[in-house]
Amino acid sequence: EAQVTQNPRYLITVTGKKLTVTCSQNMNHEYMSWYRQDPGLGLRQIYYSMNVEVTDKGDVPEGYKVSRKEKRNFPLILESPSPNQTSLYFCASSPVDSRDEKLFFGSGTQLSVL
Amino acid sequence: QKEVEQNSGPLSVPEGAIASLNCTYSDRGSQSFFWYRQYSGKSPELIMFIYSNGDKEDGRFTAQLNKASQYVSLLIRDSQPSDSATYLCAGISSGSARQLTFGSGTQLTVLP
């Protein structure tokens, strides 16, 4: 089954404790992206990647890191999480040559930073 | 700041009516626009995309794009309670490599 898999689904942590949210897709998509969703603000892009070893900042990259060492994986790293990073996070992927630009989303990760 | 703005709602329509969702964008160079539907607690799913001026129809859904007015809309005909969800408008900004900017979403409730 074609899918984008995010883990964990729920995560509660404390300020300053490094964490990684994993994202993996099995569709051989070149493009992958991370978003955060907060009430009243919609989806805001954190980072995106056009291909292996190619990453770029989105609208809200501060406090986040990403890496794209393999085509299928695009982990999101919070080196020192803070309470303002409490949010719902989505990973998404799509083929670069797709005209309809359809993003395939993971199920989301609800992060709470205490 | 390139923005996509939606009327935040919430919007309520009776079953069988036409629901009209609207979106404006600030980047005149934006080329492609998308409507995603998001049920509560779920991830967004693409329902329509449009990149040419005019209307595009798919079943009960019609997307409208007016580049001169920088306006995108989604019409849902014969609305059903299962259409109750948050609808997100998104656009790809000019000069960016597939950087998608989302609006804040409009919550639609279809009343039986």
Per-residue pLDDT of A49-79, as tens digits, reads: 999 999 999 889 999 999 999 999 999 999 9
Give the per-residue pLDDT at B97: 59
CB contacts < 8 A (A, B): 56
State how far residue A34 is from chain B, nearest Cα, in angstroms. Answer: 11
Give the per-residue pLDDT at A81: 97
User: Which chain B residues are Cβ-neighbours of A61 within 8 angstroms?
Assistant: none
User: Which chain A residues are Cβ-neighbours of B43 within 8 angstroms?
Assistant: 90, 105-108
Angle at CA of residue A25, ends A24 and A28, nearest 5°: 135
**Residue B1 clears pLDDT 70, i.e. is over it:** no
Pairwise CB contact (< 8 Å): A42 & B45 = no
User: Which chain A residues are Cβ-neighbours of B34 within 8 angstroms?
Assistant: 101
CA distance B62 to B77: 8
Mean pLDDT computed over every residue of chain B? 90
Strand-pair partners of A31: A94
Residue A98: which pLDDT band, with cuts at 50, 70 and 90? Answer: low
In this predicted model, what pLDDT tens digit does every residue of B23-35 receive, in sequence order?
Answer: 999 888 888 899 9
Position of tokens 């300053």?
A16
